[in-house]
Amino acid sequence: MSPARDLMVVLALLGASAGVPFLGGDYWIGVGITAFMWVALTQSWSLLSGLSGYVSLGHVVFYGLGAYVVVASWEVLPIAVSLALAAGAAAVFAFATGMPVLRVRGPYFVILTFGVAELVKFVVMAAEAAAGNASRLILGTPEIETLFFLMLALAAAATVLAWGVRVSRLGHGLRAIREDEEAAETLGVPVARYKLLAFVLSACIPGAVGGAMALRNTYFEPLQAFDPMISFSMIAMAVIGGSDDLRGPVVGAACFVFLSEMLWANAPQLYMIILGLLLVIFVLFVPEGLCGRLFRSRGA
C-alpha cells in the first residue's frame, strides 16, 4: 500500500473515533484519550527510531518536560500558549541534547537517552523539592471532552508529521542512515543534520502530549511524569505494530490499550507479564511488527 493510502486509512480511523464522545460515556472518552496519547507518542518515537534506527529509550523526557511546562505556567498563560510552549521546550531540549547524544550509536545511544531522561527527572524532582512542592495540583482544567479532541488532534498531527517525514528526502536519508550510516554519508546524506532534525521533530509532539496529560491528570508529580515505563511502552507498541509503517503505531497502541483495559483493573501483574512476553516474542520472531508482517509494505 502506498504511504498516502496509509495516511488516509489512519486519519479515517482517527476521524471515525471522533464519534466516541457522542456515543459512549466518560469511560470510553477516557479510553480514547489514552489510545490517542499512545498513538501520538509512538508515532513520534517511530519517526526517529523506526526510520533512523537510533533507538531512544528516553522519549519520556519530552513528555515530562511538556507536562512540567504546562503545570508551571498554569493560570499564568492561556492553555493553548502553554501547550505550544510545551512542544517548543521539548524541541529546544532535543536540539540542545541531540548534538552530543546523537554522536554515539547502537547500545550507547540507547543507554545515553535513558540516562538523560533519568537525569532530567531527578533535576526536576530536586527543583520541585527546593521550591517546596512534592507534587502540584491544578484546578479548573478543561472538560474531558475537550481533552479528548485535543489528544485526537495531537494523534492526527503526529501521524501527518510522521507521514510527511516518511515521504520526504529526510525520510529517505534516515532509512539510509539506519542501514549503514557511513555508506549513507559517502553518498551525500548530511547525516548529522538529518539525525538532529529527526530528533527535534520526534520531540515536539510528545512535549504537547505531556502537557495535555497533565491537564487530564490534574496534577504533576515528577516520578510519574518522567516514568521510564512510558518510554518502554512507546518502544513496545512500535515494535509490535511495526516501526517502519505509518499504521504500526495505531495497531500497537490499539493492542496495548485493549490489553490494559481488559487486565489492568483485575490483574495488573498479568498485564505486565503479557506485555513483556509479547515484546520478547515480537523482537525474536516478528521484528518487522504486525503491519510489516501482515501487509508486507515496503514503505516510501
Partner 1 sequence: MSLLEVRQLSMRFGGVQALERVSFTVAEGKIIGLMGANGAGKTTLFSLIAGNERPSSGEILFENQSLAGLRPDQVCRRGVARTFQVVRPFAGLTVIENVTTAALFGMRRYRDRAQARDAAAAVLQELELGDRAEALAGSLTLSGQKRLEVARALATGARLVLLDEVMAGLTPMEVEAMLLTLRTLHRTRGLTLVVIEHVMRALMQLSDEILVLHSGRLIAQGEPPAVASDPEVLRLYFGEAA
**In sequence order, what are the residues at sequence separation of 6 or more whose Cβ sits closer than 8 angstroms to the Cβ of residue 39?**
14, 155, 158, 159, 249, 250, 253
Whole-angstrom distance, CA of residue 43 vs CA of residue 66: 17
Q: Which of 88, 136, 164, 178 binds partner 1 (CB under 8 A)?
A: 178
Nearer to partner 1, 19 or 188 (CB): 188
Q: Which of 173, 206, 241, 242 binds partner 1 (CB under 8 A)?
A: 173
Q: Which stretch binds partner 1 (CB under 8 A): 56-64, 154-162, 190-198, 247-255?
A: 190-198
**Position 169 contacts partner 1 (CB under 8 A):** yes
Q: Which of 26, 75, 143, 179 binds partner 1 (CB under 8 A)?
A: 179
Q: Which stretch binds partner 1 (CB under 8 A): 112-120, 158-166, 183-191, 208-216?
A: 183-191
Minimum distance, C-beta of residue 77 to partner 1, in the bound complex (Å) = 40
Cell 495540583, residue located: 137
Q: Which stretch binds partner 1 (CB under 8 A): 3-11, 72-80, 84-92, 177-185?
A: 177-185
| Amino acid identity, position 53 | G
Q: Which of 91, 161, 176, 275 binds partner 1 (CB under 8 A)?
A: 176
Radius of gyration of the chain from Cα atoms?
18
Q: Which stretch binds partner 1 (CB under 8 A): 13-21, 28-36, 92-100, 173-181?
A: 173-181
Check if the beta carbon of residue 29 is closer than 8 Å to that of residue 21: yes
Burial class (CB in 10 A: 0-12, 13-18, 19+), 284: exposed
Check if the beta carbon of residue 230 is closer than 8 Å to that of residue 213: no
Check if the beta carbon of residue 244 is closer than 8 Å to that of residue 294: no
Among residues 246, 231, 229, 225, which one has the least CA distance to residue 289? 246
**Position 185 contacts partner 1 (CB under 8 A):** yes
Nearer to partner 1, 121 or 172 (CB): 172
Whole-angstrom distance, CA of residue 160 vs CA of residue 166: 10
Chain residues binding partner 1 by CB under 8 A are 167, 169, 172-173, 175-176, 178-180, 182-192, 298
